[in-house]
Chain A
């Protein structure tokens, strides 16, 4: 168990809908990351937060948004969903968000858009 908690584990929804994925980092970790794993794109970095502030942005679509709350949990919001958004979404956390830190990954949320 990595200590990073993601909910829900599975999510099935329809095109055009909006969903929210939730992540609780390991105790003591201030930085949260979101990654998307799809068959055609592999594991892609989406966005990083540190102590409530956006730290780095990767290949995140404009239809997607995220935030980190004062209690350090994070939410990834996906809207106007398309079939191609079906993927495994991972959250990871690290202590300070620096380049030389080990990242710990949650178990992921499997999103299926029908």
Chain B
């Protein structure tokens, strides 16, 4: 099956810093989503981005499908950004919408 690798596994920032999280995938994809899992365990949709670039406030994401990677940018980080960020994909040959998740990036933003 498709492999999803996220880097870095852990990231510690001071409030106000910027960061870039990376997601590499091993095959073509029909679907790519970024999620934030907050400290209460909730999985929150950030972006649906199988290709191209999107922005939402301080967050933006870019997926280069032909090179099989996606980037999540967090600018002017806040303590509420802490949590785990997951990239998840649906492989190109898959029927249905079964997402394969990466192992996540644990982000800690200190005040």
Which of A2, A55, A110 lies in contact with B96, CB distance below 8 A? A55
- Are B100 and A45 touching (Cβ within 8 A)? yes
Residues of chain A within 8 A (CB-CB) of B96 are 31, 48, 50, 55-56, 97-99
State whether the Cβ of B90 lies closer than 8 Å to any Cβ in chain A: yes
Name the distance in Å between A19's Cβ and chain B's nearest Cβ: 18
- Mark interface residues in A85-103 (1 if CB within 8 Å of B CB, else 0): 0001010001001111111
Which residues 29-54 in B have Cβ within 8 Å of A in the complex? 30-31, 33, 35, 41-45, 48, 50
| B interface residues, Cβ below 8 angstroms from A | 30-31, 33, 35, 41-45, 48, 50, 86, 88, 90, 92, 94-101, 103-104
Residues of chain B within 8 A (CB-CB) of A56 are 94-96, 98
Q: Name, among A42, A90, A98, A103, the residue most crowded by chain B CB atoms within 10 Å (CB to CB).
A: A103
Main SS class of interface, A: strand
- Are B42 and A108 touching (Cβ within 8 A)? yes
Beyond the given A90-B43, A99-B90, please list 6 additional residue pairs across the A-B interface where CB-CB is below 8 A: A33-B99, A50-B96, A55-B95, A104-B45, A108-B42, A110-B41
Give the bracket for the number of chain A residues in contact with chain B.
Answer: 20 to 34
Which of A50, A99, A105 lies in contact with B30, CB distance below 8 A? A99
A61 to B46, CA, bound (A): 30
- Mark interface residues in A44-58 (1 if CB within 8 Å of B CB, else 0): 110010100001101
- Are A102 and B30 touching (Cβ within 8 A)? no
Residues of chain B within 8 A (CB-CB) of A44 are 101
* CB-based nearest A residue for B94: A99
5 contacts between A and B (CB under 8 A): A31-B96, A99-B90, A101-B31, A102-B33, A107-B42
| A interface residues, Cβ below 8 angstroms from B | 2, 31, 33, 35, 42-45, 48, 50, 55-56, 58, 88, 90, 94, 97-105, 107-108, 110
A43 to B41, CA, bound (A): 12
A56 to B30, CA, bound (A): 16
Q: Name, among A58, A88, A105, the residue most crowded by chain B CB atoms within 10 Å (CB to CB).
A: A105
